Amino acid sequence: MTILSSREEEKDAAGPAQAGRNIGRPDGGWRPLFIIMNAGSGLDNAVAARENVARLMSEVDQPYEMLLCRRPRELSAMAERAAEQAARHNGIVVAAGGDGTIRTVAQLVLAAGLPFGVLPQGTFNYFARDNGLPADPVTAAAALVAGVRAGSERLVQVGQLNDQIFLVNASLGLYPQLLEDREVFKQRYGRSRMVAKWSGLLTLLRRDTEMLLRLEYSDRQQAHGADVMRACTLFVGNNALQLDQVGLTEGQGAPGGQLVALVLPPMNVAERLIIAMRGMLGQLGSAPNTAQFFCRHLIVEPLARAQRRQVKVAMDGESAWMRPPLVFRVAPRPLRLVVPPSGWSAA
């Protein structure tokens, strides 16, 4: 089987978004990879990463097709096409980008029940790091090929907010505003963790949010609870690495089949800075006047009139508007993540 047999077919089939060599795959050969690379992820190194990954694929005779996404609004449609091709050719969809890119592609892959690969190329890369994937895209590509050929997969828990999934976290309140401010800073000063942290500090100084929320939740044992709370932020986490770094869990993440919810109360500027410092020191879980709990299912209803029709939320570093009630839960189906086989080494 040949995915595409010539450069002319490649151009006609995929248009200007196509960016990669396509290697013929004989019947019975390796499963092809359909790689979606976000040109906006990372430190402006998408071109170099693409060339290096393509070189590796050629060296190991791995069939693949690479699509370069230059406009964020095209990512979902591109992921849908890749999922259709992967289903047709017994292939694997691969997301190359940051946590936001990975989440968007994973949404389509999960719905199709396909295996999923990741080449991290973002600022924080929480999903890849939490799953032990190499940080360098080329090394991650080598690990991916090894996992594909060994048939090595890991079932990864996925969070869900209404009809959208999240892999790392989802939130409402001050945090979505922080993410929007961070994107403005990245456009002006570049993508780096230092820029992200500096923009976050300025958001805490300048922004203020207060919400009145009704929360109804149940845990793994189906114990129920309901509360009305004033809050500046509601944060729901699904990533053990991030949760441990800010001090919400002790290196274990949430118990299997549950999410971690944190409610931060309304605060003045000084209190917000103290909370931010606690998060950086890994002590957020012990901050006073905060509410933290595990849950499998959480319904959030904003009670303020201005928020009853739509609420700004953030999922894995990207913001969007949703209609309440907001239903957080563990997705019924796990993600089939391709990982390197036990004992694999880049050397």
| Closest to 197 in 3D by CA, of 245, 263, 159 | 245
For Cα atoms 244, 249, 252, give the angle at the middle one, nearest 5 degrees.
Answer: 80
Beta pairing, strands 159-161 & 164-166? antiparallel
Q: What is the DSSP string of 126-188?
A: HHHHHTT--SSHHHHHHHHHHHHHHT-EEEE--EEETTEEESSEEEEEHHHHHHHHHHHHHHH
Phi, psi (5° rounding) for residue 115? -70, 155
Task: Please report which helix (H) or strand (E) contains residue 200, including its range.
Answer: helix 193-206
In angstroms, rounded to a whole number, what is the distance separating the alpha carbons of residues 89 and 23? 13
Looking at the chain, the domain(s) classified CATH 2.60.200.40 span 164-173+210-268+275-330
pLDDT of 236: 96
CB 101 within 8 A of CB 38: yes
pTM of the model: 0.83
Which pair of structure tokens corresponds to residue 218? 């149940």
pLDDT of 14: 39
Spell out the residues 6+ positions from residue 311 whose beta carbon is closer than 8 angstroms to its own: 172, 302, 321, 322, 323, 324, 326
pLDDT of 22: 45
Spell out the residues 6+ positions from residue 19 whose beta carbon is closer than 8 angstroms to its own: 37, 50, 66, 67, 68
Spell out the residues 6+ positions from residue 54 whose beta carbon is closer than 8 angstroms to its own: 20, 21, 64, 66
Spell out the residues 6+ positions from residue 306 whose beta carbon is closer than 8 angstroms to its own: none
In angstroms, rounded to a whole number, what is the distance separating the alpha carbons of residues 64 and 145? 11
In angstroms, rounded to a whole number, what is the distance separating the alpha carbons of residues 232 and 216? 18
Please state which CATH number belongs to domain 7-158+334-338: 3.40.50.10330
pLDDT in tens, 104-120: 999 999 999 999 999 99
Please state which CATH number belongs to domain 164-173+210-268+275-330: 2.60.200.40
Amino acid identity, residue 1? M
CB 273 within 8 A of CB 287: no
Distances (CA, A) of 263 to 96, 186, 204, 232, 292: 32, 28, 16, 8, 6
In angstroms, rounded to a whole number, what is the distance separating the alpha carbons of residues 83 and 152? 19
pLDDT of 122: 83
pLDDT in tens, 296-311: 999 999 998 878 889 9
pLDDT of 149: 95
CB 97 within 8 A of CB 37: yes
In angstroms, rounded to a whole number, what is the distance separating the alpha carbons of residues 235 and 237? 6
Distances (CA, A) of 195 to 157, 185, 341: 30, 7, 35
CB 72 within 8 A of CB 137: no
- Per-10-residue mean pLDDT of the chain, 347 residues long, equals 32 42 52 90 67 93 92 90 95 95 96 96 90 94 96 96 97 76 58 58 64 89 82 93 84 78 88 77 81 93 87 91 95 96 86
Q: What are the strands of the beta sheet with 211-218, ordered from one edge?
A: 164-166, 159-161, 326-330, 297-302, 211-218, 224-231
